[in-house]
Amino acid sequence: MTAIPFAISARHKGFNRAEIVDQNFIEFVQLWHGDVRTPPRDDDAVLRGSVLDARSFGELFESQLISRHLDLMARVLRVQNKVFYTIGSSGHEGNAMVARLTRHTDPAFLHYRSGGFMAERLRKIPGMDPVMDSALSFAASKDDPASGGRHKVWGSKPLWVLPQTSTIASHLPKALGTAVAIEQARRIGHQLPVPDDSIAICSFGDASSNHATAQTAFNAAAWTAYQKLPAPVLFVCEDNGIGISVKTPSGWIANNYQHRTDLDYFFADGLDLAEGYAQVQRAVEHCRRTRRPTFLHLKTTRVMGHAGTDFEVEWRSIEELFAVESTDPLLRSAAIALESGLYSKDDVLNLYEATRQRCFAAAEAADSRPRLSSLDEVMAPLAPYTPAAVKAEAERTDYQDKRLAVFGGETKLPEKLPPRHLAIQIGQALHDLLAKYPQALVFGEDVAQKGGVYTVTKGLNKTFKGSRVFNTLLDETMILGLAQGYANMGMLPIPEIQYLAYFHNACDQIRGEAASLQFFSNDQYRNPMVMRVASLGYQKGFGGHFHNDNSITALRDIPGLVVGCSSRGDDAAMMLRTLMALARVDGRVCAFLEPIALYMTRDLYEPGDGQWQFAYPSPDQAMTLGEGRVYNEVANDLVVFTFGNGVPMALRAARTIGQELGWQVRVVDLRWLAPLNDALIAAHARTARRIVVLDEGRKSAGVGEGVITAIVEGGCGATPLRRVVGADTLTPLAGAALLVLPGEADVVAAARSLAGNDGH
């Protein structure tokens, strides 16, 4: 599209660019004096040489106008506190073409400038109202069909638009993951919730394409295609040339992506419906036919600034603003409408004003609708929990024939075998779960033929073959993106993160994406998963910070995330059953921390005692969320609260304390670290004469702080207490690691300190 010519008048130099853009359209139509053609029939080309037919143009034009007037309405009503979001789609209305040329069953992950896309996609199901639906979202109404008033997001359950809040491309990995999942479903016999030939659509801005998370997705897409594996994802880069106020170098997107191997590039003019339609059509058809990752470079512009608070006249010249506004795609669409003969000037202006009135009327009506008014309402979709249903699912045993086939007969069932250590019992539990859930997948770095760095997944690949147990590229962000994609398509992913420190590379995939989906979709969409993480310190022979990270603060801070940590094999099996049930029944996102140092631990007190090996629990045994394990429950001289490596450490220290001080020591293994069971902690604290909180994490922001808070708020703040905790430092190599981590001697010393205070 070429810029529409205007003279720069005094009016064009005003402060309120929304008013100027609005008036530009009206003036353009009023002053238009081009040749008028005989109106085409509905199925004829809207203009000679275009593949866009007249009927489609008319509907696309209406969708563009709806998007524009929603933006204009938001700017006006925000100052009246009737609308609460002003990032708009103006200049991007050409993305309506992508909506028209794809199906409403193609899962779509959209960035915030997608008003045109949504207005057009809502046409695909009769009776849907893009104006009222959007107005309810702008107004943060409880009746908002996308998020229930929690955020202004583009989303729709019936239209397969999964709500995104991303501004930095963090939704790209899960879009690719969804595309991969669509193809993988047939290989594992899974029934998809969408047609088998669906594609995943993902839109983002040119500035966001530079983000590491975007690059992760592009690289993984190419990595997949290079191996001749299908990945039908349509990356739509809406290139408006600027990110807030930072300009994209001219030609950067084309130069950077045009020749990338295994990322098929297409350009389309999103400013011109007549020209761009065929270009978008080629990209969509290519993606659907070839099942290859496709990069659609959609030329757009940005008018009216980044948002209502972005006063561009303060940092851009009038000449520059004028040049940008003259490329407004609605001006070109108006010209097509007039030149084609489909519309007269009065027709265009009447439609424009009628759309304005419709948007304002919807906004006023939405303002009168109820908003979220209580904390319970706000949090309702964040972390649903139905205990009875979860318990029933966790203890379900209607898959005995599959178990017998997987384990090789009755005598080889794990519950019939001798007690074993943690790594073995986790592996047995994973075999069990993959037998129980045919839609479950185990994947990550080295989990297949090698069986994991610590052999925890040994044998899974052989038993369940490569389509259900497989290696990924070494990229934690993409591993978690795949997990979300599989979950979106109705599978139960069990991704493995090889080390806890590696999770921090990809934290936002859980924090900002997976764990927020139920909240921002009002629990209409769920992406359940159980993320296994080899975790914590004390590992011998393979040390240093990245293999002994003891900080779980980032996990515990994520709203809605369930975090469990087992210290022994039988607990691990039961916790995994509960976590999978939480995922299956309530759609929960779960993290399971596996203490590396305990994987192979067999003994508790002396070498060869075998007291840290436990029998595998029968499949009808599970564990309630929040349920702890208590050792020596009747003891009350000292209660030690701990988890993970701290459990056998506390038990050994308890024996020494008993010998030295004559105390009976109770050890409480929390097992569930998020949410913490405050009631459990308070109940044990109330019967304790003294308390030690043993936290192998760091002093600041660790689990111990939450435990102490529960003790104090439970009315036990006066009970003598000591905290034994790691130092606020990274973990060094070799024996120096033990200088920064708590040990048995520290627990005993804390007990001595308490004894000194009470005269014992």
Q: How far apart are CA 463 and CA 431, in angstroms?
A: 8
Residue 283 has which token pair? 């990209």
| Beta strands per DSSP E along 103-232 | 108-109, 200-205
Q: 157 Cβ partners below 8 Å, 6+ apart? A: 145, 521, 524, 525
Which amino acid appears at position 432 of this protein?
D
Pairing of strands 691-698, 108-109: unpaired
Q: What is the largest CA-CA distance in the chain?
A: 103
Q: 264 Cβ partners below 8 Å, 6+ apart? A: 286, 287, 290, 292, 293, 294, 295
Q: How far apart are CA 366 and CA 136, in angstroms?
A: 5
Residue 377 has which token pair? 């309402």
| Cβ count near 611 (within 10 Å) | 14
Task: Classify 698 as helix, strand or coil.
Answer: strand
Q: How far apart are CA 492 and CA 577, in angstroms?
A: 13
Q: How far apart are CA 15 and CA 643, in angstroms?
A: 60
Q: How far apart are CA 49 and CA 41, in angstroms?
A: 15
What pLDDT does 760 receive?
46
Q: How far apart are CA 537 and CA 356, in angstroms?
A: 61
Pairing of strands 589-595, 562-565: parallel
In the chain, the domains with their CATH numbers are 10-379 (3.40.50.970), 387-598 (3.40.50.970), 629-758 (3.40.50.920)
pLDDT tens for 301-339 read: 989 777 767 677 777 888 888 888 899 999 999 999 999
Q: Name the nearest CA neighbour of 301 among 330, 321, 328.
A: 328
Q: Which element (helix H / strand E) includes 630? A: strand 629-631
First to last CA, the chain: 87
| Cβ count near 743 (within 10 Å) | 16
Q: 529 Cβ partners below 8 Å, 6+ apart? A: 483, 484, 486, 487, 492, 493, 494, 495, 514, 583, 589, 590
pLDDT along the chain (760 residues), means of 10: 59 77 94 90 95 98 97 90 85 97 98 95 95 93 94 94 84 98 96 98 94 97 98 97 87 96 98 98 99 98 78 79 91 97 97 97 95 96 97 98 97 98 98 98 96 95 92 97 98 97 94 96 97 93 76 94 98 99 98 98 98 98 98 98 98 98 98 98 98 96 96 97 95 88 97 82
Q: How far apart are CA 431 and CA 425, in angstroms?
A: 10
pLDDT tens for 689-724 read: 999 999 999 999 999 999 999 999 999 999 999 999
Which amino acid appears at position 134 of this protein?
S
Three-state SS for 80-123 is CCCCCCCCCCCCCHHHHHHHHHCCCCCCEECCCCCHHHHHHHHH
Which residues does the annotation mark as catalytic? 547
